[in-house]
C-alpha cells in the first residue's frame, strides 16, 4: 500500500517520467520500482570543479507528508564537500528553510548539482572541508579531487547506460509492469465467425 495519497503518487510518477524522458544535464534518475518514497539518481561531477570526472549517487527520502515538507537528501557515494556530512547527509536550504511545496524532485537534484559547483562554507556539515575551503582553496580542491578519483568512478557505466536511448523509456510502476506482462502472456480463444461455423458444418 502506498504511503502517499493518489494525487501525490500520480504527481511523483509523472515527474519521474519527465526526468527519464528529458533528464537535466549531468543527471540521470534511477528508475524506481515499487517504492516511490526513495528516489535515487546519478550526478556527474560538473566540468571545471574538483568533482569533474566523478559520478555521485544521491538518494532523496520522501516522507508521508511530502510535498508539504521537503525530502531528506543523502550522498551514497563518499565525497569531500563542506555541505555533506561524513554519513552523506546533505545540508542545503532548498531541502530545509527555503522549501516550497511547488518545488519538485528536479529542483532538488539541480540544487544538489549546484552545490558541487559552488559549495557553501558557512553552512558546513563537514567542518574540515568547510575550513579548508575558506583557508586554502587549492588544498581543498586537491583533497576533493582525491576523493573523487577514489570513490566516484564506479557509477560511470550505469550513468551512461541510463542515458542511452534504449533505456530512456517512461517510468511505470512494478505492479503495472507485472500486470502488463501477465496480460500479454494470457492465451485467448480464437474467434469463430458465423460464416466459419457454417463452413465447418458442411465439411
Handedness of CA 94, 96, 100, 101 (dihedral sign): positive
Q: What is the mean pLDDT of residues 12-38?
A: 90
Sorted by where each begins, the domain ranges of the chain are 6-177
The grid coordinates listed for 195 are 460464416
Q: Which CATH code fits 6-177?
A: 3.10.110.10
Cell of 77: 557515494
User: Which pTM does this prediction carry?
Assistant: 0.80
Return the pLDDT at 27.
Answer: 97
Does the active-site annotation cover 114?
Answer: no
Q: How far apart are CA 123 and CA 62, in angstroms?
A: 23
Q: What is the pLDDT of residue 93?
A: 82
- 153-203 pLDDT, tens per residue? 999 999 999 998 655 554 444 444 444 444 444 433 444 444 444 443 444
pLDDT for res 97: 86
pLDDT at 50 over 50: yes
Q: Decide: 72 and 89 in contact? Cβ < 8 Å.
A: yes
Tell which wins on pLDDT, 95 or 202.
95
Say if residue 40 is exposed, middle or buried (CB neighbours under 10 Å; 0-12, 13-18, 19+). Answer: middle
Q: Which of 27, 39, 91, 105 is catalytic?
A: 91
Amino acid at each position: 500500500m502506498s504511503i502517499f495519497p493518489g494525487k501525490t503518487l500520480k504527481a511523483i510518477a509523472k515527474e519521474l517520467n519527465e526526468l527519464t524522458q528529458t533528464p537535466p544535464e549531468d543527471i540521470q534518475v534511477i528508475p524506481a520500482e515499487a517504492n516511490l518514497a526513495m528516489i535515487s539518481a546519478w550526478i556527474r561531477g560538473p566540468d571545471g570543479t574538483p568533482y569533474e570526472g566523478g559520478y555521485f549517487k544521491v538518494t532523496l527520502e520522501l516522507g508521508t507528508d511530502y510535498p508539504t515538507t521537503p525530502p531528506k537528501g543523502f550522498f551514497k557515494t563518499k565525497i569531500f564537500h563542506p555541505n555533506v556530512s561524513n554519513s552523506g547527509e546533505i545540508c542545503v536550504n532548498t531541502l530545509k528553510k527555503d522549501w516550497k511545496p511547488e518545488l519538485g524532485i528536479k529542483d532538488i537534484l539541480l540544487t544538489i548539482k549546484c552545490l558541487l559547483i559552488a559549495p557553501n562554507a558557512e553552512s558546513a556539515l563537514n567542518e574540515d572541508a568547510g575550513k579548508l575551503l575558506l583557508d586554502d582553496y587549492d588544498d581543498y580542491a586537491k583533497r576533493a579531487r582525491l576523493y573523487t578519483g577514489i570513490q566516484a568512478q564506479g557509477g560511470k557505466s550505469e550513468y551512461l547506460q541510463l542515458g542511452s536511448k534504449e533505456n530512456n523509456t517512461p517510468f511505470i510502476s512494478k505492479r503495472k509492469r507485472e500486470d502488463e506482462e501477465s496480460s500479454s502472456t494470457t492465451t485467448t480463444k480464437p474467434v469463430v465467425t458465423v460464416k466459419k461455423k457454417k463452413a465447418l458444418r458442411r465439411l
